[in-house]
Amino acid sequence: MSVAVHQSPVTPASRRKRVLIVAYYFPPIGTSGTFRTLKFVKYLPQFGWDPIVLTVDARHEYIEPKNEALLSQLPASVTVVRTYAWSLQKLLHRAQKTENSANLTKDVISNKKPSFSQKVRAFVRDIFHFPDGRSGWFPFALVRGFIAVRKLNVDVIYTSAPPYTGTLVGLGLKLLTGKPLISDFRDPWVGNTYRYQPDQQQVTWQARWAKALEQKTFAHSARVINVSADLTAKSQSVVPPESRSKFLTIHNGFDADDFTPLPPRVADGKFRIVYTGCFYEGSREPKNFLRALRLLADQSPLEFEKIEVWFVGDMVWAAANAPWCNSLKLGEHIQFKPFLPHKENLKLLAESDLLLMIGSVKPADTGSLPVKIFEYAATRRPMLALVHEGESAKFVRGCGIGRLANPENPEEIATTLLEMYREIRAGTFPTEPNLEFLRQYDRRELTRQLAELFTAVTPAPS
């Protein structure tokens, strides 16, 4: 299905520039990966670029949540091309929401020997899931993208990944049409610390092909964007020195329109801590925080009685780890709640006493700078970030309304949490962020930077 709005006839000399945005995650799909693309599309027309979005028809996405309200943010000048996507799991009736990528690699990480049927399923999955679980979108997106480039006079091709299937669509369109390609990585493809990485003795064909295709993408892209300076530096380290200037950073951020107005916290006697988003088994998960909460309950029972923690958005981890969570005997003080639409999610953040940011326990994950951390700061609520030194730690220090604790140290987490609890309750914890620091992460400013890149790589008219 194709939705086209506002395609007025123009002469070649006067027409506005057009960019084909290849993004699998796009409204009404409501996952966190949607928002970077959505906000770019929302503001690009203000900077002289009309977006043409190539995405999947949301009816063929069977895992990620949907949020129809996000469609209201699309500007009138946008053209959206939605395509079919083939899915092995859906055809085999195995689209089970409780079986995500974390669970699929759980046995591998724990060295549990798989059964024969599991080996067969893994082999089939590996064949049809390269480079990821959305590979069935590739042929349909490539054909529709090629038609769009030719018929709609596209000037630049831009891709947003993951899923990395979209990166390959953009690479294919670049090779077929010759149009300038800008490849944007919200998470790195090779070396992603949140995905299972085989050791050097067990390098799989998927890992070898991913590395080769990533290098080919780098070579054919006019610019390569990462969301943090650390990730940009890591990408530059695997290419020849003469190619490093094409790599640059455009951060994630927040849209000020989403935070005007937000309700104040209404005192109800409880001290509510909120985390939003998903978890990754073995890297980013709340186990050490929950251990810290158990320590706090034992050492400071009066303060603990006032605390409630809401984990919003990942019921899969909760179901898989329910026996372990129950063994801590934290009772109703911890609650796992399903995904909320974006507007309701922001309202919940604003009504909370403390916002929890959980990073990876892996010290190598220095480049992570997720969307939630910017939205946490924009709500002006105190933030506790369980992260190693890196980009997220720098941001928390810069915004001025958060504290840091080692994600591997429950004792340190418990001590920091108790200190923050007491200061927030006493009204002495700072709640006014460094606005000058935050201004650089406004979505309008970030979109202006992207539009400048589009213009820089667009050939001058003959």
The per-residue pLDDT for range 287-323, each reduced to its tens digit, is: 999 999 999 999 999 999 999 999 999 899 999 999 9
Query: What is the pLDDT confidence band of residue 365, given thresholds at 50, 70 and 90?
Result: confident
Q: Is the per-residue pLDDT at 62 higher than 90?
A: no
Looking at residue 235, its pLDDT comes to 96
Domain 2-253+443-457 and domain 256-439 have a common topology = yes
Q: Is the per-residue pLDDT at 194 higher than 70?
A: no
Looking at residue 2, its pLDDT comes to 38
Q: Is the per-residue pLDDT at 53 higher than 80?
A: yes
pLDDT, tens only, 64-74: 999 999 999 99
Q: Is the per-residue pLDDT at 94 higher than 70?
A: no
Looking at residue 112, its pLDDT comes to 57
Looking at residue 31, its pLDDT comes to 93
Mean pLDDT within 396-410 = 97
Mean pLDDT within 49-57 = 98
Give CB contacts under 8 A, 24+ apart, made by 404-413. 407/288, 407/358, 407/359, 407/360, 407/361, 408/288, 408/361, 409/288, 410/288, 410/289, 410/291, 410/292, 410/295, 411/292, 411/295, 413/288, 413/289, 413/291, 413/292, 413/386
Element (H, E) at 80: strand 79-83
Q: Is the per-residue pLDDT at 149 higher than 60?
A: yes
Looking at residue 195, its pLDDT comes to 61
Q: Is the per-residue pLDDT at 198 higher than 60?
A: no
Query: What is the pLDDT confidence band of residue 105, given thresholds at 50, 70 and 90?
Result: very low
Burial 169-203 (b: 16+ CB within 10 A, else e): bbbbbbeebebbbbbbbbbbbbbbbbbbeeeeeee
Q: Is the per-residue pLDDT at 107 higher than 50?
A: no
Q: Point out the least confidently predicted range of 118-127, 185-194, 279-288.
A: 118-127
Look up the pTM and report it: 0.88
Looking at residue 243, its pLDDT comes to 96
Looking at residue 449, its pLDDT comes to 98
Q: Is the per-residue pLDDT at 206 higher than 90?
A: no
CA 260/CA 37 separation, integer angstroms: 21
Please list the helix, strand and coil fractions of the chain in percent, rounded to the nearest 5, in that order. Answer: 45, 15, 40
Mean pLDDT, the chain, whole residue set: 89
Q: Is the per-residue pLDDT at 5 higher than 50?
A: no
Query: What is the pLDDT confidence band of residue 4, given thresholds at 50, 70 and 90?
Result: very low
Please name the CATH architecture into which domain 256-439 falls: 3-Layer(aba) Sandwich (3.40)
Neighbours of 35 (CB within 10 A): 26
Q: Point out the least confidently predicted range of 106-115, 271-280, 374-383, 436-445.
A: 106-115
Query: What is the pLDDT confidence band of residue 110, given thresholds at 50, 70 and 90?
Result: very low
pLDDT, tens only, 207-229: 899 999 999 999 999 999 999 99
Q: Where along the chain do its domains lie?
A: 2-253+443-457, 256-439
CA 35/CA 37 separation, integer angstroms: 5
Q: What is the CATH number of domain 2-253+443-457?
A: 3.40.50.2000
Helices (H), 286-390: 287-299, 301-304, 315-320, 322-327, 342-350, 371-378
pLDDT, tens only, 248-292: 999 999 999 999 887 777 777 899 999 999 999 888 999 999 999
pLDDT, tens only, 231-252: 999 999 999 999 999 999 999 9
Better-predicted residue by pLDDT, 168 or 118: 168
Q: Are strands 354-358 and 271-276 parallel, antiparallel or unpaired?
A: parallel
Q: Is the per-residue pLDDT at 97 higher than 50?
A: no
